[in-house]
Amino acid sequence: MESTGRLLIEIEDFLKSKTKLRPRTISDAVKNMKHLQTLSTLLEPLDIKKITGKWILKNIISEDKYSINTKRLYVYSISKFYLFLKFTNRASYNPAEEVELPAQEKRLPRPLSKLSIQQIFDNLRELREEVVISLLYYCGLRASELTHLRLRDFDFTEKIINVRHGKGDKSRWVPFPEKLAGMLTRYFRVYEIKDRIFLSKHTGSPMNYSGLISIIWEIEKRSGVVFTPHVLRHSFATHMVEGGADISSVQNMLGHSDIKQTTIYVKVAKGRVMADYKKVDLFNSMNKPIDKETVLV
């Protein structure tokens, strides 16, 4: 028997050193393991023989109180836990491999309206905030892509950014607006940027996800608009499609490997058009409704 608490520290080190998982993915996996521990899933002290494929089916997959996505996250975390146990010869098999995961829930993203986006911009107080929000919204960058940006990634001649740290370590080129060039140039000069674009104000080290979220929270308080970096990315994609951008171009800008990931924004855009059409209600706003008897056929 071993202490799960100590093992969780070991597994976090293992995932950081032996896998290519992103820091946030590792953090979420370990957090889920701790939660599972409190639910007597990963027992204290740990009894690895207790966890089997049948046990996962009964206590997680068949449990109605968990959403489909939560079930998937829990099984994913157990899988990584046992990957570590196998690597350190504490277990001979991975019970998560015996389980067929339920299909992932598909939820339409909820983009912000252009009015809300304008409200955010109207409540920015400093140049760094303006650059952060502009790159997230006008370029559709992921949070991790933003925090990893370097000076060499910007091409001011072509007005494009080389996003080198995309999902799956894929790189792509993303355009930025002509009018953003002046702001970026001023930012690089004022903040004396030599390499990494965003640094922590307190330590001078590269800004991480927590530092980015701290900036977002401050803007939320002033603007009254609740959002995340990913919501701005959703908003960018939806507004591009609504504006008539070709779906394949949006796919390339977002860095989607499969165009099916991008077509969801077509559905969102159509939904917004229908909602706006019904809201205006031209038919009932007319002073004189159509008189069927006077219409020539």
Q: Specify whether the CB–CB gap between 94 and 79 falls below 8 A.
A: yes
Q: Specify whether the CB–CB gap between 183 and 134 falls below 8 A.
A: yes
Catalytically active residues are: 142, 167, 230, 233, 256, 265
| 3-state SS, one letter per residue, for the chain | CECHHHHHHHHHHHHHHHCCCCHHHHHHHHHHHHHHHHCCCCCCCECHHHCCHHHHHHHHHCCCCCCHHHHHHHHHHHHHHHHHHHHCCCCCCCHHHHCCCCCCCCCCCCCCCHHHHHHHHHCCCCHHHHHHHHHHHHHCCCHHHHHCCEHHHEECCCCEEEECCCHHHCCEEEECCHHHHHHHHHHHHHCCCCCECCECCCCCCECCHHHHHHHHHHHHHHHCCCCCHHHHHHHHHHHHHHCCCCHHHHHHHHCCCCCHHHHHHHHHHHHHHHHHHHHHCHHHHCCCCCCHHHCCC
* Dihedral angle, C-alpha 209, 210, 211, 215, nearest 10 °: 100
99 to each of 20, 47, 70, 79, 155, how far by Cα in Å?
A: 24, 19, 15, 10, 47
